[in-house]
Amino acid sequence: MSELRRSWVESANSAATPFPLNNLPYGVFSTGNTPPRCGVAIGDRILDLAGLEAAGALAFGGVFAEASWNRFMARGQADWARLRAALTAALAEGSDQRAALAPHLVPMDAAKLHLPFEVREYTDFYASRHHATNVGTMFRGANNALPPNWLHIPIGYNGRASSVVVSGTDVIRPHGQIKGPDDALPRFAPSARFDLELELGAIVGQPSSGPLSVAEGFAAIFGYVLLNDWSARDIQAWEYQPLGPFQGKATATTISPWIVTAAALAPFRVAAPPREVPLLPYLEEPGPMLYDIALEVGLTPEDGVETILARTNARELYYSAAQQLAHHASSGCPMRVGDLLGSGTISGAGPEARGSLLEMSWGGAEPITLADGQCRRFLEDGDTLTLRGAARGAGYQIGFGPCRGRVLPARAL
């Protein structure tokens, strides 16, 4: 495991910061009346890359003045590595570039963070065996929990790119068609079983027009974000057969504001769990492609205190983002710069590691008691959900920043 890289930005040397020199995640920010532009998080500061390039300290074709990282991603892996190497050297303790960079550091608490990239397409998968087993057990019984295809194929559905929002965006409780088990007919009403899903999102940084190997898929992934796939379980239950999720998953998908690069996470690669059945050759991994990233989800009621609902780890996934991408492209489906792949809910083996309220409350049958004594089966209006994640090294962590959203009441229709 690598050790902390020290920076002349003192706040980056704290074990508590999610943004040490080892990390250098990419985001889009604005200050005052200035337009959004590209920056990199370092400690409690944002390095203004657009300002640096305007001053002649960087040369990447003016891409950092834009309000997304898409044009930079499209430049390819060589430029990804060149920028990271330049920033690491310039921000390192003892660098002779301190005087040139210091004027371009912005206090993070004085900046507004925006969606860090333009989401071209969004696909959500179902890649955690514990989650799939829990949900399947609830609906089909323990003997038929996993669908027959689950151990052979990364299951997914195509979602709405337009639904993706940055952390801090409020989420309005959705309306939809709902039909309970005792209802003769469906009704149109606000969702009463609104839920979260604790996920990791992978960002495709290179286009493809045909099949990809898993290794090629791994190389094409620019970075990762935390992802909350808000889910209306009662709407989903009525609509999902036979074609899968639709409106129950279309309300919003919240992502964290910083793109943690694949390069920053490289020291934390881990192998997939043992395979119960062999995968077909096109899905076999040439090496470790999951990550040891500790994850947690907290719920804060309106005017209340936060309760940590669950803690789990991204290494619990059965399929990696590279496998998901390889499967997605296997039909010839073109993949584009800015495509977003959600992992699906990440759950661990125990009740304390379940990544959705559907699992935590076992379909609503087992209410959860919060720190202030309130109970939850599903989300209530005013609840704020916060996802957090970090890969932890020797005296440092590679964090994502919070992935947060508050539930607002359904609109009157």
Could you list the active site residues?
131
- Cβ atoms 302, 382 nearer than 8 A: yes
How far apart CA 206 and CA 339 sit, in angstroms, is 9
**Closest Cα partner for 321 from 194, 202, 175?**
202
SS3 content of the chain, % helix, strand, coil (to 5): 25, 30, 45
Q: Which helix (H) or strand (E) holds 389?
A: strand 384-392
How far apart CA 400 and CA 388 sit, in angstroms, is 7
**Closest Cα partner for 164 from 229, 112, 258?**
229
| SS3 state of residue 33 | coil
Beta strand ranges found along 230-264 (DSSP E): 231-232, 253-255, 260-261
Cβ-Cβ contacts under 8 Å for 86 (sequence gap 6 or more) = 58
Cα 62 from chain centroid? 27
How many helices and strands (H and E) does the chain possess?
Answer: 10, 27
Q: Which residues pair with 227 in a beta bridge?
A: 199, 255
**Residue 219: φ, ψ to 5°:** -70, -25
Cβ-Cβ contacts under 8 Å for 9 (sequence gap 6 or more) = 21, 42, 43, 45, 91, 105
**Residue 202: φ, ψ to 5°:** -105, 140
**Closest Cα partner for 203 from 118, 264, 284?**
118
How far apart CA 398 and CA 400 sit, in angstroms, is 7
Beta-carbon-side half-sphere exposure of residue 146 (alpha carbons within 13 Å): 17
**Residue 139: φ, ψ to 5°:** -95, -25
DSSP state, residue 114:
E
Q: How many CB atoms lie within 10 A of CB 356?
A: 26
**Residue 13: φ, ψ to 5°:** -95, 0
